[in-house]
Amino acid sequence: MPIQSFRLNRLVILAPIIASSMLLTACGGSNNPVATQTQATPAVSDLTEIVVDATAGGIGAVATNPANKHTYFNLDTGLVVGLTDTAAETSVDWHMGFKRTGIILNGGDSGSSNVTGAVADKQDDFYDTGTTTPNPSVFLNATPAIQLADIAAVDESTGLTFSADENVNQITSDGGSESWWLYNPAARTISANLPVWNVIRSANGDSFAKFNVTNIVQVSRDITLELFIQGVSDSAFSLTSVTWTASIGAGGGTKCYDIDTTAEVDCTEKASDWDVQVEVSADGRSWTLWTNGGVRGTARSGASFGTLTETQADQFVASSTPGLIFSADAPSGVFKESTWYEYNLQGDRKLWPNYRVYIVDTGTNKYKLQITSYYGASGTSAMINLRYAKL
């Protein structure tokens, strides 16, 4: 298909300064970016090309630093909206949020608006047929100029499935074989899955616990956990367990536990302190465990590792056990489920775009967009090169 003519409105969108403290220097991150914009001479079409500074966050970032936040962008105005993460939760002035490789939309569990997304061109030729295995040759030979035809070819959204962001917990809670609870569809009963274990990192990131759920009383929704804790000053998990029963109640709700004090705490009053949260929906269909990081609580250092068998749990004698890679609960949406990049194709720890074409529906307008690079002109990482146009 021939490449159509376009007007490339080239913008550089940099996150506003939130605090004077350092953002991130690891992996090429920049310090205290200054907001700037440049406008190219119009040509023929309405395709806009921007660079979004998403350098906040990353390895070594301090969660409590106000600068460690998403960069919020409004597709209608083409401008960054200067919001803190807290303010963004209730704002309808942004459509997309960027932080390192992560992209969220203002809707569902990520925001108070109704923004949704869909994939218009999956770029299947970047992957081995019928698989999710990347074809390095295709990735390494693709360029923004060559892939311009792909975004040019998208001119409608008919038949696409749009979805809003949804928070996803890392501790398996689906009632299946790797879940901490089991569902018997014949008897319509829920019971503890005793052989399943998980490891959690605390809200402060300096203590740990490995645990399993030992009992569930379905009617009253009481969930009992047996935990082996590795405290702040400990070098291994305790050989003596502590037991906590989260008495949710028949109406559903949440209960929280602090592994440092080995006590149940109020989920709201101790939003920065609790380490594991048990939640049961009012209708009794959803039973979930959360950690205090990413999408629940305010500490954002909590995370989990699992699922483990009882034998594997016995082998994890300390948080330093090789292979322990913790993952925080996180928003999931179209940019997570159908990722826009692949990593380390040449063993150089770089990101390579797959040039997928997405459509973002703001509720008022629909925009097609394509990410063409993760790097700025000087090689700085998390400088998202994005081009988009209104459908």
Least confident range from 7-16, 105-114, 177-186, 312-321: namely: 7-16
Q: Which residues are paired to 134 by β-bridges?
A: 127
- Residue 16: pLDDT over 90: no
Using the 3D structure, point to which of 330, 351, 382 is the last residue of a domain: 330
Confidence of residue 64 (pLDDT cuts 50, 70, 90): low
* 251 and 212 in a common domain: yes
Indicate the pairing of strand 381-390 with strand 253-258. unpaired
Indicate the pairing of strand 357-361 with strand 366-375. antiparallel
Q: What is the DSSP letter of 371?
A: E
* 190 and 158 in a common domain: no
Q: What are the E-state strand segments in 75-169?
A: 79-81, 96-99, 102-105, 116-121, 166-168
Using the 3D structure, point to which of 313, 330, 347 is the last residue of a domain: 330
- Helix then strand then coil, in percent of the chain rounded to 5, is 10, 35, 55
pLDDT more than 70, % of the chain: 87
Q: Which domain holds residue 206?
A: 167-330
* 119 and 13 in a common domain: yes
For residue 3, tell me if it sits in a domain.
Answer: no
Q: What is the pTM of this model?
A: 0.69
The pLDDT score that the predictor gives to residue 43 is: 34
Contact in structure between 354 and 28 (CB atoms under 8 Å): no
State whether residue 390 is helix, strand or coil: strand
* 257 and 185 in a common domain: yes
Backbone angles phi, psi at 294, to 5 degrees: 95, -65
* 182 and 138 in a common domain: no
Taking residue 362's Cβ as centre, other Cβ atoms within 10 Å add up to 22
Number of folded domains in the chain? 2
